A and B are shown apart, each in its own frame.
Chain A
Amino acid sequence: AQSVTQLGSHVSVSEGALVLLRCNYSSSVPPYLFWYVQYPNQGLQLLLKYTSAATLVKGINGFEAEFKKSETSFHLTKPSAHMSDAAEYFCAVSVDNFNKFYFGSGTKLNVKP
């Protein structure tokens, strides 16, 4: 069975500080991994995806994530937080042909001035 665990339902950083949002997955087959961002009252917007090419994936808004098979992790990072990064972030895994997504429980990022 597939599952996604996001450690930390709330993360708070200062503006300009490093952002690290954790995601660990469980999958019996090679997964496809995604990060989405959700701003208040909006849908899910794709940040980046891992599809078995490069293990370090760059996304929009300066975010990147590294796939580490040995750690079954796909943590999201950004070197310098901006106030506009405040949102909820979801990690998702897909393994089957019809692309059903399993989502983590989300991490709310707060950016302090």
Chain B
Amino acid sequence: EPEVTQTPSHQVTQMGQEVILRCVPISNHLYFYWYRQILGQKVEFLVSFYNNEISEKSEIFDDQFSVERPDGSNFTLKIRSTKLEDSAMYFCASSEQGNNQPQHFGDGTRLSIL
């Protein structure tokens, strides 16, 4: 069964450094998402991406964050200047289309900011 893959599984970065989290969504999916889960808290929506542009973003997704689909297969989340509070598990998800489709999640990248 096709799956969403995320790399790396764990990323350790110094505060203030840039970090790029990578995702390969399921190949025939059209909608892409990033979520984050701070330790002990709920999964929070960050951004959705469709037709090569951001379709919606949350308050968390400020100017420090950006997403890109550079080559038709990868979907990346960049944090420009990381802060301690960016430490979390980041999940990528994809879905086929429409508003009744389940999202398929990757195993996540644990981001630790030192």
B5-41 Cβ-contact flags toward A at 8 Å (1 or 0): 0100000000000000000000000010101000001
Contact status B45-A102, CB under 8 Å? yes
Question: Which of A99, A103, A106 is close to B101, meaning CB atoms less than 8 Å apart?
Answer: A99
> Size of chain A's interface in residues, with CB distance under 8 A?
27
Contact status A49-B102, CB under 8 Å? yes
Q: Does A67 contact B (CB under 8 A)?
A: no
Shortest A68–chain B CB gap in Å is: 19
Contact status B105-A99, CB under 8 Å? no
A contact residues around B103 at 8 Å (CB): 46, 99, 101
B contact residues around A46 at 8 Å (CB): 102-104
Question: Which of B42, B99, B102, B105 is close to A106, meaning CB atoms less than 8 Å apart?
Answer: B42
Question: Which of B43, B91, B98 is close to A99, meaning CB atoms less than 8 Å apart?
Answer: B98
Number of A-B contacts (CB under 8 A): 69
A contact residues around B99 at 8 Å (CB): 32, 94-99
A42-72 Cβ-contact flags toward B at 8 Å (1 or 0): 1111100101100000000000000000000
Contact status B105-A103, CB under 8 Å? no
Contact status B102-A45, CB under 8 Å? no
Contact status B45-A99, CB under 8 Å? no
Question: Which of A45, A98, A101, A105 is close to B50, meaning CB atoms less than 8 Å apart?
Answer: A98
> Size of chain B's interface in residues, with CB distance under 8 A?
28
Contact status A99-B95, CB under 8 Å? yes
Q: Which of A5-60 contact B (CB under 8 A)?
A: 32, 34, 36, 41-46, 49, 51-52
Q: Of all chain B residues, which has the CB nearest A103?
A: B43
Q: Does A90 contact B (CB under 8 A)?
A: yes
Q: Of all chain B residues, which has the CB nearest A47?
A: B102
The chain B residues found within 8 Å of chain A, CB to CB, are 4, 6, 31, 33, 35, 41-45, 48, 50, 55-56, 91, 93, 95, 98-108
List 28 contacting pairs A-B, 8 Å CB cutoff, sorted by A.
Answer: A32-B100, A34-B102, A43-B6, A43-B91, A43-B107, A43-B108, A45-B105, A46-B103, A46-B104, A49-B102, A51-B100, A94-B100, A96-B56, A97-B99, A98-B48, A98-B56, A99-B48, A99-B95, A99-B99, A99-B103, A101-B33, A101-B35, A101-B103, A102-B45, A103-B44, A105-B41, A105-B42, A106-B42
